[in-house]
Homo-oligomer: A and B are copies of this chain.
């Protein structure tokens, strides 16, 4: 039962399929892309330091070395920019999750669920956006979908999960994750209930309550750092998500 061998990385698939499409169209397009990336990069930092509410568009533009007016050519509002930041963080998180290897492909998926819920309930940038459930669930579905759907399918192939439609499972799970994270951050769910929430989310893989609880209770390795190549914004390296139907919603 070694999932690691058969597991193609989503990143590798993307490089092949997305190479032509990711080519810049010309000098203007290249500059626009650079500016957009610089703004997301700056916003990620400023919102990480001060929280989304306290971060101003002015400060983000300054940090990106761009005029304050320029920012609105790229993002209509701070809210829109915050969603772009979160999507970036989601891809980065998926790439970090992807670096852990387990013999059991069910554990790969469980580790992902655990990590996403832990991040959503502790990182201020996620926490402050949870109230926009439909936007965050949709971003989770699109950005982490290529990774999560692949992991679900690997576990199905290994006979560990019983999922008829992995995209549907991930779609509903993304919404349930946001619900669980909201419940934890608003205090509606006691902090100790996080493992129960993870077991509940793992039930959606069709394995039944007992197996889901056992899977949720397994000890977890630490989350790896980003690979060294991460100096390039993940956004750039992964301009095209994996060619699953999940990505077509963009």
Q: Residues of B contacting A182 with CB < 8 Å?
A: 134
- In chain A, positions 171-186 with a C-beta closer than 8 Å to chain B are 171-176, 178-180, 182-183
Q: Does A169 lie at the interface of the complex (its beta carbon under 8 Å from any beta carbon of B)?
A: yes
In the bound complex, how far is the Cα of B61 from the Cα of A4, in angstroms?
63
Which residue in B162, B163, B204, B249 is a CB contact (below 8 Å) of A188? Answer: B249
Q: Residues of B contacting A163 with CB < 8 Å?
A: 209
CB of B197 within 8 A of CB of A164, answer: no
Shortest CB–CB separation between residue A202 and chain B, in angstroms? 10
In the bound complex, how far is the Cα of B137 from the Cα of A127, in angstroms?
18
CB of A196 within 8 A of CB of B168, answer: yes
Q: Does A107 lie at the interface of the complex (its beta carbon under 8 Å from any beta carbon of B)?
A: no
Which residue in B179, B204, B213 is a CB contact (below 8 Å) of A200? Answer: B204
CB of A164 within 8 A of CB of B133, answer: no
CB of A193 within 8 A of CB of B179, answer: no
